[in-house]
């Protein structure tokens, strides 16, 4: 079993990123034979960005990952642009990717609509690079959020189409999705996924928020107007369901167990407080380790360089096979 996953360096990481991805990366170190994690700075340049800020956000992201428990010695942790095999493979895979498939991608439609000046070709072909990120390593499993299912299906289609045309060269990966906390929702708009670009500051909890800020945000979280209050997860109670999902994910419980924990609660205030306490306990150690790591950028570059070296050792034989199968490059 070989795990690959990429994480964007844009914006501050929020609770949804942590529960849906980062924590699963850490768990993957013990579950997989090999675990490969990539900070995808090339994906980040497909929309308008500030170059200086991008470099800072890469360091931020690496520091958060290490603070969360990713061990650069046990895993392959690197910056996407340090391994040229991935963009090269993306170009080669574009020959077996249809324009129609890319045009149907939901994320392109959403992101291109928000680009007032330019919806780039890079944004359109983003899923091909995402496929190359994974296929370059012959990864077998890709831990992603529930919103990435369409990308995983396209990735599988690209690999199968390549193999049908050129022979069994690429591994067709499987997406793996969290059973609890797959979609952490905005605290103020619980029908909307928590996001760094949408919603309000009060609706999202950042990994690096201090305990008082976390508690304040949960106290203001939207629930509903049921009287008496009903602490139950159901489709008609999105605010309460979201808090129960967060509580369950933070405590390592099922949603049913989280409901049972609050069977004697006096109201939604108890639910909010219990959830806030669980999230503080979950994130506080990460914030403290991050603060100890972030300022040593030379050390962060050493971690990235070590990871890139290990990553290139994995992609070299794959790319040799791909080039030979396609008849490009030297014999």
3-state secondary structure string across 310-327? HHHHHHHHHHHHHHHHHC
Give the model confidence (pLDDT) of 185-221 as tens digits: 999 999 998 988 777 889 999 999 999 999 999 999 9
Give the model confidence (pLDDT) of 238-271 as tens digits: 999 999 999 999 999 999 999 999 988 889 999 9
Cβ pair 138, 318 in contact under 8 A: yes
Q: Which phi and psi angles does 210 have, rounded to 5°?
A: -80, 160
Cβ pair 43, 131 in contact under 8 A: no
- Strands ordered across the beta sheet of 34-39: 76-79, 34-39, 2-7, 141-143, 174-176
Question: In this model, does residue 179 exceed pLDDT 70?
Answer: no
DSSP state of 148: G
Closest CA to 322 of 116, 136, 193, 99: 136
Cβ pair 37, 65 in contact under 8 A: yes
Domains and CATH numbers, the chain: 2-178+296-326 (3.40.50.620), 201-291 (1.10.240.10)
- Peptide bond preceding 228: is omega within 30 degrees of 0, i.e. cis? yes
Question: In this model, does residue 180 exceed pLDDT 90?
Answer: no
Cβ pair 57, 10 in contact under 8 A: yes
Q: How far is residue 64's CA from residue 214's CA, in Å, rounded to a whole number? A: 17
What is 185-216 written as a DSSP string? BPSSSTTSB--SSSS-GGG--BTT--HHHHHH
pTM, to two decimals: 0.87
The pLDDT value given to residue 273? 96
Cβ pair 69, 298 in contact under 8 A: no
Residues 6+ apart with CB under 8 A from 311: 36, 38, 76, 78, 82, 83, 137
For the chain, the average pLDDT equals: 90
Strand partners for 4: 36
Give the model confidence (pLDDT) of 109-131 as tens digits: 566 555 556 677 888 888 999 99
């Amino acid at each position: 079993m070989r795990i690959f996953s990429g994480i964007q360096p844009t914006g501050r990481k929020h609770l949804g990123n942590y529960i849906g991805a980062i924590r699963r990366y850490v768990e993957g170190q013990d579950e997989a034979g090999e675990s490969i994690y990539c900070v995808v700075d090339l994906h980040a340049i497909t929309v308008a960005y500030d170059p200086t800020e991008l470099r800072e956000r890469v360091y931020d992201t690496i520091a958060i990952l290490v603070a969360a428990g990713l061990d650069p010695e046990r895993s392959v942790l690197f910056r996407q642009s340090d391994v040229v095999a991935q963009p090269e493979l993306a170009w080669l895979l574009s020959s077996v990717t249809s324009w129609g498939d890319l045009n149907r991608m939901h994320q392109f439609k959403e992101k291109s609509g928000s680009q007032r000046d330019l919806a780039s070709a890079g944004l359109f072909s983003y899923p091909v690079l995402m496929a190359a990120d994974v296929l370059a390593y012959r990864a077998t499993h890709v831990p992603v959020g529930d919103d990435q299912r369409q990308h995983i299906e396209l990735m599988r289609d690209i690999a199968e189409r390549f193999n049908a045309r050129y022979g069994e060269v690429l591994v067709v990966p499987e997406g793996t999705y969290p059973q609890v906390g797959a979609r952490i929702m905005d605290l103020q708009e619980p029908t909307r996924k928590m996001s760094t670009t949408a919603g309000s500051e009060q609706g999202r909890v950042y990994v690096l928020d201090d305990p008082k800020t976390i508690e304040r945000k949960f106290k203001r979280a939207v629930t509903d107007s049921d009287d008496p209050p009903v602490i139950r997860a159901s489709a008609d109670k999105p605010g309460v369901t979201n808090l129960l999902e967060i509580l369950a994910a933070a405590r390592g419980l099922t949603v049913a167990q989280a409901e049972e924990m609050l069977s004697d609660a006096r109201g939604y205030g108890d639910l909010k407080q219990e959830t806030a306490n669980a999230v503080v306990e979950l994130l506080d150690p990460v914030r403290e380790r991050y603060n100890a790591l972030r300022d040593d950028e030379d050390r962060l570059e050493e971690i990235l360089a070590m990871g890139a070296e290990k990553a290139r050792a994995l992609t070299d034989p794959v790319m040799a096979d791909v080039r030979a199968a396609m008849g490009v490059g030297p014999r």
